[in-house]
């Protein structure tokens, strides 16, 4: 292979990852996360937005004192599970309970589980 072709090949490879990482998350997977939070926080307002670095940010507002909780969901979590598996994982990991006791700290959900973002 000539040096020119090797250079072009590396150039194409190096642009592949950013294009993949910028692809939209499957809406049905984001909906699965919203459904889970709606069950755990009935009558609360749940909003979500795309954050930086392959993170989706869910804000849960309401309750008797107008509490606000922030949950960050890593793209790898969404990519690794089907929608029905997402709800099951969130339930198994007791995310709702963790959010309720998190106070002012955000929670990060990745394929490896939960992390507190202090």
Question: Going residue by residue through the chain (118 aa), what tens digit of pLDDT does each one get?
Answer: 444 444 443 333 333 333 344 457 789 999 999 999 999 999 999 999 988 878 999 999 998 888 999 999 999 999 999 999 999 999 999 999 999 998 778 999 999 999 887 6
Q: pTM to 2 decimals?
A: 0.76
Q: Which of 85, 55, 82 is nearest to 70 (CA)?
A: 55
Report how far apart the first and last C-alpha atoms of the chain are (Å, whole number): 51
Instruction: Supply the DSSP symbol for 24.
Output: P
Return the number of other C-beta atoms located less than 10 Å from residue 70's C-beta. Answer: 17
Pairing of strands 113-117, 55-62: unpaired
> Which tokens go with 29?
């997977």
How far apart, in whole angstroms, are the C-alpha atoms of residue 117 and residue 61?
Answer: 18
């Amino acid at each position: 292979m000539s040096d020119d072709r090797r250079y072009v090949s590396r150039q194409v490879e190096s642009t592949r990852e950013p294009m993949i990482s910028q692809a939209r998350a499957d809406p049905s997977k984001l909906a699965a996360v919203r459904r889970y939070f709606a069950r755990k926080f009935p009558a609360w307002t749940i909003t979500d937005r795309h954050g930086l670095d392959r993170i989706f940010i869910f804000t849960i507002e309401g309750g008797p004192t107008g509490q606000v909780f922030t949950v960050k969901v890593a793209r790898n979590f969404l990519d690794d599970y089907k929608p029905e598996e997402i709800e099951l994982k969130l339930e198994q990991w007791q995310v709702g309970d963790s959010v309720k006791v998190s106070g002012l700290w955000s929670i990060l959900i990745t394929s490896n589980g939960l992390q507190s973002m202090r």
